[in-house]
Structure 1
Amino acid sequence: MSVFFKVYIRALCLPMIVLLSTFVQAGESEVREAIQTALPQFNVAKITPHEASGLYVVEFDSGNTLYATENGNYFVAGDLYRMEGGGLVNETEQVKLAKLEAWPAEDMVIYEAAEEKAHITVFTDVDCGYCRMLHNEVPELNDLGITVRYLAFPRAGVGSHSYNKMVSVWCSDDPKALMDKAKQGIGIPENKCVNPIAQQRALGEAVGVRGTPTIFLSTGSIMPGYMPAAELAKELGL
């Protein structure tokens, strides 16, 4: 969730509850009207009922998500947890992970473990210092049985220098070789093709990526930032 969004939500939280309380009829249309009245600067992409909790899931174009009561009186800005087996399951993170798992593997740059025990999906930028630190540990991760799957997230945006370098990586005949060079700061040849870089960046924004590296574990947990290989293995239960 973006810093601006969080700050805005905190600032409007109490007056917004009063405002939303005027919308008392149940249903998606009432939730939509309440949210759009209270947050007109954010575009609602989709509203779906969450049957188990009785809440409505409100997704914005920005990638942020709110959970609203069916009568539009109240909302929650944050992750939705389910109590299960004496523990907690973060359903919001599970939804994000499902979006990543649905992404075609052929559009990723993948470093496969010889004997895979788990995998991580990493939003990366070839010019990010901490991304380079993590990349240096890819061989160790592979030795631990962890496959590393890269998605592109050029921090400076589409059309930036980093974006163009990542296009060159993804469009090359040997993406892993060029990824290795780019992560070492070595110049790489320019390549162009129809590529998924812009779409992957948009996917990152939709699942809450705000910096790189952002690591999604196959267990469903999200690690915002660099984490050493040994600690990642521990988080994965290896």
Structure 2
Amino acid sequence: MKMMVAGLMMAMVTAQAVAVPAKLPQGSELHTALAALGLKVNSVADSVVPGVQQVLTDRGLFFAANNGQFLIEGNIYDLKNKQLVNDSILQGVRKAGVSKLKDSSIEFKAKNEKYVVTVFTDTSCGYCRKLHNEMQSYLDKGITVRYLAFPRGGVQSETYSELQSIWCADDKQQAMNQAKAGRKIAPAQCSNNVAEQYETGQSFGISGTPAIVLPDGSLVPGYQPAEALVATLANLAK
């Protein structure tokens, strides 16, 4: 699906523009093209590139041209304003999305809370385990960590089943501690939204873990030590 030519797209975006909401009528060429790819469309709007629409789907952000004849997966850079267009589009989406799932998260709360971050995690991920092993250093710096599930292997994977067991455990924090330490946890089943958490992460453009969503909806892909993360958060708060 990757059909993005970076140089061409970077050259196209050289002027500031504002995305205008647009409807996606059923039966339109664009709707038909996206449905054929199995994409669930959340919203469509005109992008900063004339003639190109930004399409938010359950599998992330895409750009469409010529009524869906061309589908572009990748980044668009605004060279004039020196910013990644994708981030400005997804920032608000991420902020709203993690807020919606707040009550479903497994929270490790800082005693003297200054910041709250949401971390999409996978128990089989080495850097996720590293981050969790250093949890106290995040808490000591006033960073509350809210976990959401992101089984990298998808909803048919063993990790998905393990994450479900964690979210169904009587003591979710302890279950997370055990899993991140590499210990087996007791299988458990209940009504849960682990699949929704995973799909939400995908819609944010997340493909790996850990993925840290900051309070303003910005995304930090990958592990970041507490000292670096608190500096990022402090700079964000200025």
TM-score with structure 1 length normalisation? 0.74
Matched AA of 1:98:
K
Amino acid at match of 2:198: R
- Residues 124 and 72 (structure 1), Cα distance of their counterparts in 2 relative to 1, 3 Å cut: closer
Distance 1:36 1:185, change over 3 A: same
1:93-104 equivalent positions in 2, closer than 5 A = 93-104=90-101
Q: Does 1:121 align with 2:129?
A: no
CA distance, structure 2, for counterparts of residue 199 and residue 27 of structure 1: 25
Residue 164 (structure 1) aligned to one of 138, 161, 166: 161
Maintained 8 Å contact 1:125/1:152: yes
Q: Structure 2: which amino acid aligns with 1:233?
A: V
| Alignment of 1:10 onto 2:41 | no
Which stretch shifts more, 193-202 or 89-98? Answer: 89-98
Mapping 1:131-142, distance limit 5 Å: 131-142=128-139
Gaps of 5+ in 2: 10-21
Conserved in 2, the CA contact under 8 Å of 1:172 and 1:178? yes
Q: Do structure 1's residue 173 and structure 2's residue 170 form an aligned pair?
A: yes
Deviates most, 183-192 or 50-59: 50-59
How many angstroms apart in 1 are the aligned matches of 2:3 and 2:64? Answer: 16
CA distance in 2, matches of 1:44, 1:9: 21
TM-score scaled by length of structure 2: 0.74
Shift of 1:74: 9.2
- Aligned equivalents of 2:197 and 2:64: distance in 1? 25
AA of the residue aligned to 2:103: E
Letter in 1 for 2:145: V
User: Against the structure 1 CA distance between its residues 78 and 96, is the aligned structure 2 distance closer, same or farther, given a 3 Å change threshold?
Assistant: farther
What CA RMSD, in Å, does the superposition of the two structures yield over aligned residues?
3.7
One-letter identity of the residue aligned with 1:167: Q
Instruction: Note closer, same or farther for the CA distance 1:73–1:232 as it changes in structure 2 (3 Å cut).
Output: same
Match of 2:227 among 201, 216, 230: 230
Q: Work out the CA distance in 1 between the residues paired with 2:55 and 2:165.
A: 37
Describe how 1:68-79 pairs up with structure 2 within 5 A: none
Indicate the residue corresponding to 1:60 in structure 2. 57
Q: Which runs of 5+ in 1 are unaligned?
A: 15-25
- CA distance in structure 2 between the aligned counterparts of 1:128 and 1:118, rounded to whole angstroms: 24
Deviation digits for residues 118-174 of structure 1 (CA, Å, limit 9, x no counterpart): 111111011111100011111111110111010001112213221121111111111
Cα drift, residue 184 of structure 1: 0.3
* Aligned residue-pair number: 218
Q: Which residue of 2 aligns with 1:43?
A: 39
The one of 211, 215, 221 aligned to 2:212: 215
Once the 2 structures are TM-superposed, how far is the Cα of residue 189 of structure 1 from its aligned partner?
A: 1.3
2:3/2:72 contact within 8 Å kept:
no
Which amino acid in 1 is paired with 2:88?
E
Change (3 A) 1:192 1:51: same
Larger Rg over CA atoms: 1
Q: 1:138 to 1:27 in 2, by over 3 A?
A: closer
